[in-house]
Structure 1
Amino acid sequence: MDNLQLIQSKIHEIRGQRVMLDFDLAEMYGTETKYLKRAVRSNIKRFPSDFMFELTKEEFDNLRCKNCTSNKRGGTRFMPFAFTEQGVAMLSSVLNSDVAIEININIMRAFIAVRQMLSNPIESRVERIETQVRELKQYMEEVLVDQNDINEDTMIQLELINQTLAELQAKDQSSKNRNPIGYRLPGREDNK
């Protein structure tokens, strides 16, 4: 799995928004979650509710169930922060390191890729599939027409062979009615 796909797999939809969770971001940045949270809390004015929000216990439990993951970090004392795309962008100003900047660029690309994938309507994918099915159907019809042409030629040849065999049988029947060639034994009428 490449970096973009890995990042995309960490984007979740919560409260109708695509977000990334603090522990996933901390892992990508190569830091501990508590340090990321500390940096965010020290700069809380940079993170309004449309940039970042704290998950409820129910949201976190639903997310864990939906993703079939266990809580590998042990019990969590604090619920994770969920960062929207703008919140992740704001993190780069709070976590001012080369790694954070590089990771943020990749995360922004992942959010853009997800947005493009979602903006590409299913209809266009369905239309593409329908076109492929139509082309396949047309190809199959052409193959069947060719097959039928071969069958018609074969049928004509088989009829000719049958006619020839029938003629040979008729000739063979007429040859049985001929007088035999050769010597006749005396006292026998038919020497076959």
Structure 2
Amino acid sequence: MQIIKSIQNRIYEIRGERVMLDFDLAILYEVETKVLNQAVKRNIKRFPDDFMFQLTSAEFESIKFQTEAINQGVSSQIVIKDQPNLKSQFVTSSWGGTRKLPYAFTEQGVAMLSGVVNSDKAINMNIAIMRAFVDVRKILLKQSNINEQLTEIKERIGEHDVQLNELYDAMENLIDEKIAQIKWNDRERIGFKIKE
């Protein structure tokens, strides 16, 4: 379960797609980013634009900013330091020093990688990544469902607020009428008073 959480933290939303970046995939597959990208280039026909695309500078900066904000300054470099046998040509320190912009792989692109990077580690990691994508999709569906429910509740509350306000107004009118009646009955009478 911990590995799925780790993978979910590496899934980004870019251009309306949930993607993983090449250097994150390389870390998970325990290969160099360069090796991963070379394997993709040798099999480029398997990776159309809806499976893989290269980030723009603005997109990459946005991801760096979001990730650093989430991790409060902890970047992927720490992961690389924990695994000293891995080197990434993209992440050198705090997301800086990139030689070229990373590639983003959609869920289909990651699935296609399983046929390109063919090691036991890559196969096992691909299974975990697919599970993480499914979990993210479930979370988003639940969130969408919750948002719909909240909207419905707000609409109902709005209707109830109108009805409650009308009820409160009617109650205030009744109370005002009762108070007026009591005042009328308790008024000092004028005219002849009969003692009994």
Structure 2 partner of 1:84? 106
Match of 1:35 in 2: 35
The yes-or-no answer on 1:117 pairing with 2:139 is: yes
Query: Which residue does 1:151 correspond to in 2?
Result: none
C-alpha RMSD of the superposition: 2.2
The aligned counterpart of 1:53 is 53
Letter paired with 1:9: N
Counterpart Cα distance in 2 of 1:29 and 1:20: 13
Question: Alpha-carbon deviation of 1:15?
Answer: 0.4
**Partner Cα distance (1:126, 1:104) in 2:** 36
SS at match of 1:28: helix
**Structure 1 residue 107 and structure 2 residue 129: aligned?**
yes
Structure 2 Cα separation of the partners of residues 104 and 51 of structure 1: 15
Give the equivalent residue in structure 2 for 1:25.
25
| Distance (Å, rounded) in 2 between the aligned partners of 1:97 and 1:32 | 13
Residue 62 of structure 2 is matched in structure 1 by 62
How far apart are residue 46 of structure 1 and its match? Answer: 0.4
**Secondary structure in 2 matching 1:101:** helix
**Structure 1 residues 56, 71: CA separation in 2 closer, same or farther (over 3 Å shift)?**
farther
Task: Give the structure 2 partner of residue 137 of structure 1.
Answer: none
Paired residues for 1:153-164 under 5 Å = none
Q: 2:115 aligns with which of 82, 87, 93?
A: 93
Q: Which residue of 2 aligns with 1:139?
A: none
Deviations, residues 96-125 of structure 1 (Å, cap 9, x unaligned): 111111000000000000001111122477
> CA separation in 2, counterparts of 1:46 and 1:21?
17
Question: Percent identity over the alignment?
Answer: 56
In structure 2, how many angstroms separate the alpha carbons of the residues matched to 1:125 and 1:53?
A: 36
Question: Matches of 1:36 and 1:6 in 2, distance apart?
Answer: 20
C-alpha separation between the residues in 1 aligned to 2:30 and 2:127? 15
Aligned AA (1:92): S
Rounded to whole Å, the distance in 1 between the matches of 2:15 and 2:53 is 10
Give TM-score, length-normalised by structure 1.
0.62
